[in-house]
Chains A and B, each alone.
Chain A
Amino acid sequence: GAVVSQHPSRVICKSGTSVKIECRSLDFQATTMFWYRQFPKQSLMLMATSNEGSKATYEQGVEKDKFLINHASLTLSTLTVTSAHPEDSSFYICSARVETLLNTEAFFGQGTRLTVV
Chain B
Amino acid sequence: DQQVKQNSPSLSVQEGRISILNCDYTNSMFDYFLWYKKYPAEGPTFLISISSIKDKNEDGRFTVFLNKSAKHLSLHIVPSQPGDSAVYFCAASALTDTGRRALTFGSGTRLQVQP
Complex contacts, B89 vs chain A, CB 8 Å:
43-44
Q: Are B34 and A111 in contact (CB under 8 A)?
A: no
Does any Cβ of A come within 8 Å of B101's Cβ? yes
Binding site of A, secondary structure by majority: helix, strand, loop or mixed? strand
CB contacts (< 8 Å) of B36 on chain A: these are 108
Any chain A CB within 8 A of the CB of B42? yes
Choice from A10, A49, A102, A111 contacting B100 with Cβ under 8 Å? A49
Which range holds the interface residue count of chain A? 20 to 34
Chain B contact residues: helix, strand, loop or mixed: strand
Q: What size tier do the contact residues of chain B reach?
A: 20 to 34
Contacts of B43 in A (CB 8 A): 4, 6, 93, 95, 108-111
Q: A113–B107 contact, CB under 8 A?
A: no
List of B residues within 8 angstroms of A6 by Cβ = 43
User: Is B102's CB under 8 angstroms from A105's CB?
Assistant: no
Q: Does A19 contact B (CB under 8 A)?
A: no
> Beyond A36-B105, A43-B89, A108-B45: 12 further Cβ-contacts under 8 Å?
A42-B107, A43-B106, A44-B44, A46-B103, A93-B43, A93-B44, A97-B101, A104-B101, A105-B34, A106-B34, A106-B103, A111-B42
* 21 A-B contacts (beta carbon < 8 Å): A1-B46, A6-B43, A10-B41, A32-B100, A36-B105, A43-B105, A43-B107, A44-B89, A46-B102, A46-B104, A49-B100, A57-B98, A57-B100, A93-B43, A104-B93, A107-B46, A108-B43, A108-B44, A108-B46, A110-B43, A111-B41
Interface residues in chain B, defined as those with a beta carbon under 8 Å from any beta carbon in chain A: 32, 34, 36, 41-46, 49, 51, 89, 91, 93, 98, 100-108
Q: Which 8 A-B pairs have the closest CB atoms?
A: A108-B43, A43-B107, A111-B43, A44-B105, A43-B105, A110-B43, A108-B44, A93-B43
Task: List residues of chain A with CB under 8 Å of any chain B CB.
Answer: 1, 4, 6, 9-10, 32, 34, 36, 42-46, 49, 57, 91, 93, 95, 97, 102-111, 113
